[in-house]
Amino acid sequence: MVVNKGVWIEGLLLTAISVVGVIESIRLVLYKDPSLLSDWLGPGYYLLVVSLAVMTTGVTYICKNRSTKPSATQDSSNGGRSRLVAAFATCALYLVLIEIFGYLAATFVFFMLMFWIVGLQSWLQKFGLACAMSGIFYIVFVKYCGMSFPGGILF
Amino acid sequence: MDLLDGIANILTPTYLLYCFVGCALGTLVGVLPGLGPASTLAILLPITMHLDPLGSIIMLSGLTYGAAYGGSTTSILVNIPGELGSVPTCFDGFPMTKQGRAGEALWIAAVGSFIAGTFGAVMISILGPGIAKFALRFGPTEYFGLIFFSMTALVSLSGTSIAKGLGAGFVGILFSCVGIDMMTGIPRFTFGNVGLMNGFDYIPVIIGLFGIGEVILNAQERLGQIYTGKMGKMMPRGDELKKGLKASLRGTLIGFPMGLLPGMTPGVVSFMAYDIEKKISKYPEKFGTGVIEGVASVEAANNATAQAGFLPLLVFGLPTGAAPAIILAALMMYGVQPGPVLFTVNKSFAWTVIASMYIGNVMLLILNLPLVGLWARISTIPYKYLGPTVLAICFVGAYSVRNTMFDLWVALAAGVVGYLMRKRHWPMGPLILGFILGPMMEQALRQSFASGGPTAFFDRPIALALLAASAAVLVFSIRALKRVPKEILEKREEM
Domain range annotation of chain A: 5-74, 78-144
Question: For chain A, how many residues are written?
Answer: 155
- In B253-381, the DSSP E strands lie at none
Torsion sign, CA atoms B98, B99, B104, B108: negative
pLDDT at B229: 62
pLDDT at B495: 43
**Under a CB-based contact definition with an 8 Å cutoff, are residues B65 and B117 in contact?**
yes
Which stretch of B13-22, B188-197, B335-344 has the lowest confidence by average pLDDT? Answer: B335-344
Q: Do B388 and A88 touch (CB under 8 A)?
A: no
Nearest to B408 by CA among A93, A134, A85: A93
Task: Give the CA angle between residues B141, B147, B152 to the nearest 5°.
Answer: 130
Q: What is the arithmetic mean of pLDDT over B40-67? A: 83
Letter for the amino acid at A51? Answer: S
**Could you tell me what percent of chain B has a pLDDT over 90?**
16
Using an 8 Å CB-CB cutoff, list chain B residues near A149.
399
Q: Beta-carbon neighbour count of residue B358 at 10 Å?
A: 19
Nearest to B200 by CA among B184, B180, B216: B180
Residues ≥6 apart with Cβ < 8 Å to B34: B214, B217, B218, B221, B383
pLDDT at B104: 86
The yes-or-no verdict on residue B165 having pLDDT over 50 is: yes
Q: What is the arithmetic mean of pLDDT over A33-41? A: 68
Nearest to A18 by CA among B175, B192, B493, B156: B175
The yes-or-no verdict on residue A75 having pLDDT over 80 is: no
- The helix/strand/coil state of B414 is helix
Nearest to B412 by CA among B171, B190, B212: B212
Question: Which of B184, B405, B455 to probe the A interface (max A CBs under 10 A)?
Answer: B184
* Predicted confidence (pLDDT) per residue in B327-342, tens digit: 888 888 888 888 888 8
Residue of A nearest to B176 (CA): A47
Spell out the domain ranges in chain B: 2-494
**Range A110-120 burial, b when 16+ CB lie within 10 A, else e:** bbbbbbbbbeb
CA distance B135 to B257: 19
pLDDT band, very low/low/confident/very high, at A129 (cuts 50, 70, 90): very high
The yes-or-no verdict on residue B80 having pLDDT over 70 is: no
pLDDT at B223: 46
Using an 8 Å CB-CB cutoff, list chain A residues near B425.
71, 73
* Predicted confidence (pLDDT) per residue in B107-134, tens digit: 898 899 899 989 999 999 998 888 888 8
pLDDT at B248: 93
**Under a CB-based contact definition with an 8 Å cutoff, are residues B128 and B311 in contact?**
yes
The yes-or-no verdict on residue B249 having pLDDT over 90 is: yes
The yes-or-no verdict on residue A50 having pLDDT over 90 is: yes
* Predicted confidence (pLDDT) per residue in B273-310, tens digit: 888 888 888 888 888 888 999 999 998 998 898 888 88
The yes-or-no verdict on residue B46 having pLDDT over 60 is: yes
CA distance B390 to B399: 14
CA distance B190 to B194: 8
pLDDT at B371: 78
Structure letter (DSSP) for residue A41: S
What backbone torsions phi and psi does residue B179 show, to the nearest 5 degrees? 120, -165
Q: What is the arithmetic mean of pLDDT over B136-145? A: 84
Nearest-CB residue to B445 (from A21, A46, A147): A46
CA distance A119 to A4: 34
pLDDT band, very low/low/confident/very high, at B424 (cuts 50, 70, 90): confident
Structure letter (DSSP) for residue B223: P
CA distance A147 to B397: 10
The yes-or-no verdict on residue B397 having pLDDT over 90 is: no
The yes-or-no verdict on residue B219 having pLDDT over 80 is: no
pLDDT band, very low/low/confident/very high, at A152 (cuts 50, 70, 90): confident
Using an 8 Å CB-CB cutoff, list chain B residues near A62.
none
The yes-or-no verdict on residue B225 having pLDDT over 70 is: no
Residue of B nearest to A147 (CA): B400
The yes-or-no verdict on residue A11 having pLDDT over 50 is: yes
The yes-or-no verdict on residue A17 having pLDDT over 90 is: yes
**Could you tell me what percent of chain B has a pLDDT over 70?**
88
pLDDT band, very low/low/confident/very high, at B487 (cuts 50, 70, 90): low
Round the average pLDDT of chain B to a whole number and report it: 82
Q: What is the arithmetic mean of pLDDT over A52-74? A: 80
* Predicted confidence (pLDDT) per residue in B253-272, tens digit: 988 988 887 766 777 788 77
Annotate B144-211 with three-state secondary structure: HHHHHHHHCHHHHCCCCCHHHHHHHHHHHHHHHCCEECCCCCCEECCCCCHHHHCCCCHHHHHHHHHH
Task: Give the CA angle between residues B78, B82, B85 to the nearest 5°.
Answer: 115
pLDDT at B224: 46
CA distance B212 to A56: 30
Residues ≥6 apart with Cβ < 8 Å to B489: B159, B160, B268, B481
Structure letter (DSSP) for residue A45: H
Residue of A nearest to B394 (CA): A91
CA distance B250 to A147: 49
Q: Is ipTM > 0.95 here?
A: no
Question: Which of B174, B401, B410 to probe the A interface (max A CBs under 10 A)?
Answer: B174
Letter for the amino acid at B308? Answer: A
Q: What is the arithmetic mean of pLDDT over A54-65? A: 90
Nearest-CB residue to B174 (from A50, A91, A99): A50
Q: How far is A147 from chain B (nearest CA, A)?
A: 7
pLDDT at B222: 47
The yes-or-no verdict on residue B231 having pLDDT over 60 is: yes
What backbone torsions phi and psi does residue B188 show, to the nearest 5 degrees? -125, 135
Q: Do B189 and A20 touch (CB under 8 A)?
A: yes
